[in-house]
Structure 1
Amino acid sequence: MTPPHAKTWSRRGRTPVVRVRGRSRRRISIAALTCYKPGHRSRLIYRPRRDDGNRDGRKSFSWRHYRDLLIAARTQLGGPIVLVWDNLNVHKAAGLREFAETRDWLTIYYLPSYAPDLNPVEGIWSLLRRGWLSNVAFTTPEHLMQRIRSGLRHIQYRSHLIDGCLTETGLTITPR
């Protein structure tokens, strides 16, 4: 709920100030996949998850949430998936590994440790933070969630932005 800072314009001598009432301990997590296929439009598939505020509840995605995201991606894309993931501990969970081993349509490769510059999804987060989430004082978690969804929807419909995130990594797609 703490807003990111960004540069903006204003009249000379009138510095814009965004007032924030308080900090919320609630968390919103988002998992996203950037999908590339030669000769096809790039896609962005995402799932937000709000922390429900329970002390004993999980605040972020579990391996089951990632499994469900992969199943939804397979349904949307309609073909085999070659997944390139960072080394987040949940991505390497035993349950997710077992799930991947039993699916012939899923192949997983891992990026080197501490290499966010090779992950195109980091570019999506950068676009979101610098655009739709900057200089906004969120009044409620619902307000934040609405801005996140509208920003991600905007990116989803502009495949050149998703392509730019891949280009920024220096990685390429090679046809099979």
Structure 2
Amino acid sequence: MTVAGRVRRESVRMQAAELFEQEVKPPEVARRLRVSLKSAYQWHQLWREGGVGALSSRGPSGSRCRLSPRCLEKLAAYLEQGPAAHGWVEDQVWTAARVAMLIGRKFHVSYSVSGATRLMHRLGFSPQVPARRVAERDEQAVTAWKEATWAEVKGPGRPAGATSASRTKQASPADRPEAGPGDDADTPRS
């Protein structure tokens, strides 16, 4: 959830607490605040047990950061130096896997790739995905093949307006035959 989303949710819970203090019932609170009935009943229960304080936010959920503020500053400085300064000389791309490895090397703390991604976003960086291209790739040959050979292989395609859909509208009773295959001509249809 974004920071704005958390702030809005906190505001809505405080509005709900005010309505509960005015003895407004949970269904009416749900309608007025445009929240689910379940949320309104849960908030009402919390409010009855602990008052307004029970509805206040306890901060963002999830596990705490395993790096100290000082280590986070160092990590940001390492990321600013670029990947080549830390041994990745083939390209200048910080992938989440590289950042997780860097954290392990420098701080002896294990981070998953998704955890490293969240940490990078927190520090104002975004992980990059390197383009996977073969070093021996001949771009001119690829372009020539696309223009000549692919045009032949691909074919002209389907003409505009041609479809394979059939009509699915049910026929009217007047359009139906009197007797169908397997029907006995002597028995009337019902």
Same fold (TM over 0.5): no
More helix, by proportion: 2
TM-score, normalisation: structure 1 = 0.20
Q: TM-score, normalised by structure 2?
A: 0.19
> Which is greater in Rg?
2
